[in-house]
């Protein structure tokens, strides 16, 4: 098992569905999302870097040529044109949003989740202070507060792994409440 799989698989008990990864970069976690959720999953991979999406597209063509994946060049901090989703993965992306804007961005993002039971899975560094690579870390305690403000319930930590950068990385899950 990979570190990426160990972090996200506990939040994805059922295969298939419609998921997005926001801030997907070159697709390490996007490929893992496909690996965990199987061939029936439909993935919307969102990143603002066209070059990163091209690398991701090539990796998918090599590893999962028949994958149902949509590569979308966009900034997830702005409104997105996405369908209703079973889940959203934000792996190492929320820490690039300024601390004072994280709550508003998370609220906007969670509107794409199905109204009752849509899942948000995040992977972040469990730290209060950042560095040049992780400018605005989201500790688990901070995520609990942000998730509540975004209307998520059943918030829980899924896994944690040591990190050579900022102590540890964790994954957590929150589910959207019915409106």
User: Distance of CA 163 to CAs 15, 57, 72, 157, 166, Å?
Assistant: 28, 28, 29, 16, 6
User: Distance of CA 72 to CAs 26, 44, 143, 144, Å?
Assistant: 13, 7, 26, 28
pTM for this structure? 0.93
Per-residue model confidence (pLDDT) at position 179: 57
Distance CA 103, CA 122 (A): 14
Identify the CATH homologous superfamily for domain 1-78.
Vaccinia Virus protein VP39 (3.40.50.150)
Distance CA 108, CA 68 (A): 25
- Which of the residue ranges 48-52, 113-117, 160-164 would you say has the lowest mean pLDDT? 160-164
Instruction: Give the E-state strand segments of 24-100 in sequence order.
Output: 42-47, 68-73, 87-91
User: CA geometry: angle at 95 spanning 28 and 147, to 5°?
Assistant: 100
Q: Give 52-108 pLDDT, tens digit per residue.
A: 999 999 999 999 999 999 999 999 999 999 999 999 999 999 887 788 888 999 999
> Comparing C-alpha atoms, which of 7, 33, 6, 11 is closest to residue 22?
33
Per-residue model confidence (pLDDT) at position 39: 95
Whether 126 contacts 134, CB under 8 Å: no
> Comparing C-alpha atoms, which of 128, 124, 109 is closest to residue 157?
124
Per-residue model confidence (pLDDT) at position 136: 77
Mean pLDDT, residues 36-47 taken together: 97
Q: What's phi and psi for 158, nearest 5 deg?
A: -100, -45
Ranges of CATH 3.40.50.150 domains, the chain:
1-78
């Amino acid at each position: 098992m990979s570190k990426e799989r160990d972090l996200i698989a506990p939040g994805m008990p059922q295969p298939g569905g419609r998921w997005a990864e926001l801030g997907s970069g070159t697709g390490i976690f996007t490929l893992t999302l496909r690996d965990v959720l199987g061939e029936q999953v439909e993935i919307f991979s969102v990143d603002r870097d066209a070059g990163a999406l091209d690398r991701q597209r090539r990796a998918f063509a090599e590893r999962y040529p028949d994958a149902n994946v949509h590569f979308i060049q966009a900034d997830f901090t702005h409104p997105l044109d996405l369908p209703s989703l079973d889940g959203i993965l934000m792996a190492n992306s929320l820490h690039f949003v300024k601390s004072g804007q994280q709550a508003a961005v998370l609220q906007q993002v969670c509107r794409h989740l199905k109204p009752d039971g849509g899942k948000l899975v995040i992977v972040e560094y469990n730290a209060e202070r950042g560095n040049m690579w992780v400018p605005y870390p989201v500790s688990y305690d901070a995520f609990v507060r942000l998730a509540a403000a975004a209307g998520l319930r059943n918030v829980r930590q899924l896994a944690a792994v040591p990190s050579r950068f900022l102590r540890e990385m964790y994954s957590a899950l929150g589910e959207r409440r019915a409106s």
